[in-house]
Amino acid sequence: MSADWDEIKRLAADFQKAQLSTSLQRLSERNCIEIVQLLIEKQLIDVIYTNDGKEYLTQDHLEQEVQDELYMQGGRVNLVELAKVLNVDFGKVEYTAKRLVEQEPALHLLLGQLIDNTYTQRVATEINQQLSQHGEINVGKLTTTYDLPADFILNNIVLRNLGKIILAKQDSENRNVFFTQSYIARNKAKVRGALAAITKPTMISAIVNLTGVPERVLYMVLDEVSSLGTVTARSTAGQYIPHIYSRMQSQWVKDFYKQNGYLTYESIAKLGVADVKGVVQKYLPGEKMVHMKNCIVGSKLMDQVQSSMEECIATGSYLDVSTILPTALSDEDIEEVLTHVLTLAMRKQTYVFGTVVLTVNFMDECVKGCNELVVEHAKRAVESGSYQKYLAEKMMKHQDVGVPGGAEADGSKGDKREERRKKAAGGKGGGGTQGRETKTKSTKKHARGNRGHVSDSDDEPEVHDGKKGSKEAHIELITSKEIAKVVEKALEPEGLEMLSKDLANHFYPILSKQSLAKAQEHYELSLQKNNQNRRQTHASIQEKLNTLYNDIRLYEKGLKLFSGEVQGQLLKYLLKTLGTDVCNELCLYVAAECNLNTNYSTGLTPEQRTKIANDCDAEYRAALQALCKALATSETVDAFLETTEKALQACSMMLKKVDKKKDRNLILSHKHGLLEQLANCTDPALVLHLAALIIFTISTQTMLHASGRHVSAILSFLQTTLTAEQSQAFNTYHDLVLKLLGTESVSTDESKAKAEEITKQLGELTPVVKDIAGNFKKAGVTPKRGVCGEGAQLNRIARTGQSGSVGSSATCCRAMLRSHNGTVASLALWSSTVAVDVSEPAQEPPTHKPTRPTQAELQVRTNQPTQLLLMIGS
């Protein structure tokens, strides 16, 4: 190899000598190129072209230049940059570098860079300097500094020079970390000082932050100083617990428990204890303690509470447990103490309200004052009717629910109803009373049946409505506020008034049950006391319904004398007035018998009557529903009366036999009543109405129940009865009345003048009309003196100031609009009744709309109708 190299040098010298010789001896550039090309072809030489192709390099020369450039770059050169500097293809440079690495072990080809030992030694020197400054170094950080792989730095630089150039120690846990002995000694001193100064549990992370010592160094030192304390976990989440703290903790727990007899979880947790129960058992072995939710109570306190409870029960007083237990115990803790102390026998004699324990005897003394309140409220509920309303609601809620023995009850009820019917059909005067007695017994039986529900006893079966969402009837006879007021007075001397509401809520169900029982007792007593009054009420209603029945029957004869259209109008008016009165009386009677919730007046609406008919007992339901339907749909009076008879029979009421003599007396009394009203009347419209009814009654010997809108039809009917002069007078009077009503609705001066003129004409004709009606006699009939003499009758009425026989029967006079005191009644000409019953108390007007008026009446009513006031003596 060296011989060849010497030969090459010789040839190069000869070649150079030849070039420097004279021109005759020098070769041209072309000849040189040809010679080199020939040598290459004959493989006598191996050359490398430069990138521009102007120069040739041998492989050995290229290797030399690479080594020279590596030396110039300080032992580390990039092959890409080297190829640019040498102006040689990168592949040739890379090939040459690999050959050099194979030939020289001190060279390294790494990441496209050529590195020699001079560079690695210089890096090792720098690393040692960093160790001297910082005491610790991490190979991972060196990779970013020198842009070399961590394995190369660790194996070829650090470990190869460790102990020679680099004076450090490798970490046993992390091989990439190296530190000096002085660094370890310095950090150990810091950790020892910090651990010796710590007297309470401290987080490892806090120790690291305070000392600035790495965790691995800290754990290394902790293993060496384990006599000072322990570590819960070898991580930043762990704690260092010094032994002195454990000793202080144990001493504190023992001293506190010995002095107070209890321990709270919160106070122990503040000492840094996680497992409180475990620590207490560890520090206080053999102690009898009760572990509760928030604290631990010793046997000493438990015995103290138990002895106080026994004394409280023996004296029949109360005990506030919070006064004998430490204040640190919460109300919840005290309640837990009581659950452990109170035995089953104690619980039967006491009640616990928070931290206060009351004995049964003490509570009974406090609530003793409520007994009078219970009796007073129960009596008041029965007297006001609210308890009866409650019973009625309860019966309505459970009327469709089957009860044991229901079939037998229905059978006995059917037998009693049949018995009442037989007694009513007997025709005796006392039949109605007997039927009423039977009903009274039935009502008392219903009351006894409800007693089980009222008492709310747990021993009696509860009856629930089968429908979803239905609620039981409820009545509150005594409130918790009233109980609290009474109890507060008893608790105030003891300073326990704050328990008044709790005691009131406790005794509220008991006292409510007692008040219901007392109310039931008063109710049964009131039923017995009012039994006689109920019989009398039954008799009076029966008499009233008989009177209404006879009135309707007599009025039917009068309306049958008219043609079909007018007869239908009169029939509707009769049913809407007297028929409605009959239906209302029966509905109110049945509602009272069935204890239904009815706060209605005597004037019921169709909806109210239908509700009563649907909600009443089965024995009345069918008959009452048929009566309500007949009132609206009957086309004849007979159909309505037939339905009324069935309803009366269902209510155990009798109908009196028809007496023609009494009928004649009723008609006569009706006529005299009309004559009396006519004599005292000054209103033209009412005078015309009364006169028409009087003449109709005298001429037909029948009664007519008609309103003001039927006056025209009545006058048309009487045309054949009146003379020409009388008919002319009535027609003129009728026309003037219509004109007066038409002008009264207009407020102009002309209309007022016209009204005054018409009023003047009516004033002149009024005596004529009254005279015609007062002296009218049926053709061919001469009244007997003392029987049909209107003059004598009127004189007697005027002289005595009494109603006499006028209105003794319930005639059309009863259907007049009346005031509540029975003294004043208002009558609208086209929508009201005109007869007034002056012998019986006044009633409310029927709440029905008037029948549809005729065209002539509608024309008059377009203006404001005139209200006519009728004064009637009480």
What pLDDT, on a 0 to 100 scale, did the predictor assign at position 428? Answer: 37
Rounded to 5 degrees, φ, ψ at 65 are: -65, -35
pTM for this model (two decimals): 0.38
- The C-alpha angle 560, 563, 564, rounded to 5 degrees, equals 90
Say which residue, 437 or 43, is predicted with more confidence: 43
**Has residue 357 been placed in a domain?**
yes
For the segment 106-162, what is each residue's pLDDT rounded down to a tens digit? 888 888 888 988 898 999 999 999 888 888 888 888 888 888 898 888 888 888 888
627, 372, 628: which is closest to 515 by C-alpha?
A: 372
How would residue 1 be classed by pLDDT, with cut points 50, 70 and 90?
A: low
Strand 239-242 relative to strand 262-264: parallel, antiparallel, unpaired?
A: unpaired
Q: Which of 176-185, 231-240, 758-767 has the lowest mean pLDDT?
A: 231-240
Bridge partners of residue 229, in order along the sequence: 242
Model confidence at 205, pLDDT cuts 50, 70, 90, reads confident
* Residue 421 forms part of a structural domain: no
Q: 130 and 238, same structural domain?
A: no
Examine the domain organization and report whether 630 and 682 are in the same domain: no
pLDDT given for residue 791 in this prediction: 39
Residue 457 has pLDDT above 70, yes or no: no
The single residue listed with the structure tokens 């049950």 is 513
Within-domain flag for 455: no
Q: Give the residue from 623, 658, 693 where a domain finishes.
A: 658
- Domain containing residue 166: CATH number: 1.10.10
Per-residue pLDDT, averaged over 857-866, amounts to: 31
State the residue for tokens 């370890």. 184
The strand pair at 318-320 and 356-359 is best described as antiparallel
Query: Which has more confidence, 435 or 282?
Result: 282
Task: Give every CB contact of residue 672 below 8 A, 6+ residues apart in sequence.
Answer: 790, 793, 794, 797, 804, 805, 806
User: Higher-confidence residue: 454 or 588?
Assistant: 588
Query: In this structure, what token pair is assigned to residue 531?
Result: 């039994």
Indicate if the pLDDT at residue 834 is higher than 70.
Answer: no
pLDDT score, position 838: 30
Q: Has residue 64 got a pLDDT over 50? A: yes
**Do 329 and 282 meet the contact criterion of CB atoms below 8 Å apart?**
no
Note the pLDDT of residue 338.
Answer: 86
The total number of structural domains that make up the chain: 6
Same domain as 693, residue 803: yes
| Domain-located, residue 587 | yes
pLDDT of the residue at 524: 84
Residue 423: what residue type?
A: K
Residue 823: pLDDT over 50: no
568 three-class SS: helix
pLDDT at position 824 over 60: no
Domain boundary among 339, 366, 393: 366
pLDDT of 474 reads 78
Over residues 689-731, the pLDDT tens digits come to: 998 999 999 989 999 999 888 888 898 898 888 888 888 888 8
Same domain? For 709 and 803 the reply is yes
| pLDDT of residue 256 exceeding 60 | yes
Question: Is residue 864's pLDDT more than 60?
Answer: no
Of the two residues 602 and 428, the one the predictor is more confident about is 602
What is the percent of the chain where pLDDT is above 70?
75
Average pLDDT, the chain: 74
The CA distance from 145 to 147, in Å, is 6
Residue 227 confidence class, pLDDT cut points 50, 70, 90: low
Determine the pLDDT at residue 788: 34
> How many C-beta atoms lie closer than 10 Å to residue 643's C-beta?
22
Confidence label for 846 from pLDDT (cuts 50, 70 and 90): very low
Q: Per-residue pLDDT tens for 655-691?
A: 888 888 888 888 899 889 999 998 889 888 899 899 8
Would you call 523 helix, strand, or coil by DSSP? helix
Predicted pLDDT at 693: 92
**β 76-78/47-49 pair status:** unpaired
Task: Write the CB contacts of 47 (distance below 8 Å, at least 6 apart in sequence).
Answer: 36, 40, 56, 57, 58
Over residues 354-406, the pLDDT tens digits come to: 888 888 888 888 888 888 888 888 888 888 888 888 888 888 877 655 444 44
Alpha helical stretches, state H, 456-577: 480-491, 500-529, 531-559, 564-574
Give the tokens for residue 418.
Answer: 């049949």
Matching residue, tokens 């008040």:
515
Query: CA 192, 197, 199, 202 torsion: positive or negative?
Result: negative
Q: Is 739 exposed, middle or buried (0-12, 13-18, 19+ CB in 10 A)?
A: middle
Q: Band the pLDDT of 259: cuts 50, 70, 90.
A: confident
Residues 672 and 747 in one domain: yes
Alpha helices in 368-430 (DSSP H): 370-384, 386-397, 406-424
Q: Which residues pair with 239 in a beta bridge?
A: 203
When pLDDT is averaged across residues 94-110 and rounded to a whole number, the result is: 87
Domain presence at residue 382? no
Residue 498 covered by a domain: no
CB-based burial label for 509 (10 Å; 0-12, 13-18, 19+): exposed
What is the span of the domain harbouring residue 676?
661-871
In sequence order, what are the beta bridge partners of 837?
A: none
275 shares its domain with 323: yes
Do 565 and 693 belong together in one domain?
Answer: no
Say whether both 675 and 641 belong to one domain: no
**809, HSE (Cβ side, Cα atoms, 13 Å):** 25
Could you tell me if 799 and 666 lie in one domain? yes
Return the top range by mean pLDDT from 77-81, 191-195, 331-335.
77-81
C-alpha 413: how far from chain center: 44
Q: How far apart (Å, rounded) are the C-alpha atoms in residues 96 and 102?
A: 10
Which of 593-602, 609-618, 832-841, 864-873 is the most confident on average?
A: 609-618
* pLDDT of 73 higher than 50: yes
* 117-121, 272-276, 354-358, 811-815, range with the lowest pLDDT: 811-815
Instruction: Give the range with max mean pLDDT: 410-419, 462-471, 625-634.
Output: 625-634
Do residues 620 and 665 both lie within one domain?
Answer: no
pLDDT tens digits, 553-608: 889 888 889 988 888 899 999 999 999 999 988 888 888 888 776 666 667 888 88
Residue 346 placed within a domain = yes
Is the pLDDT at 295 greater than 70, yes or no? yes
pLDDT single digits (tens) 623-634: 999 999 988 888
User: Does position 466 have pLDDT exceeding 60, yes or no?
Assistant: no
> What are the pLDDT digits (tens) for 494-542?
888 888 888 888 888 888 888 888 888 888 887 777 666 666 677 888 8
Q: Look at residues 710, 701, 731 and name the one whose alpha carbon lies nearest to residue 719.
A: 731
Same domain, 687 and 790: yes
Residue 820: inside a domain, yes or no?
Answer: yes
The predicted structure's pLDDT at residue 453:
35
> Do residue 740 and residue 834 come from a single domain?
yes
Last residue of a domain, one of 179, 210, 233: 179
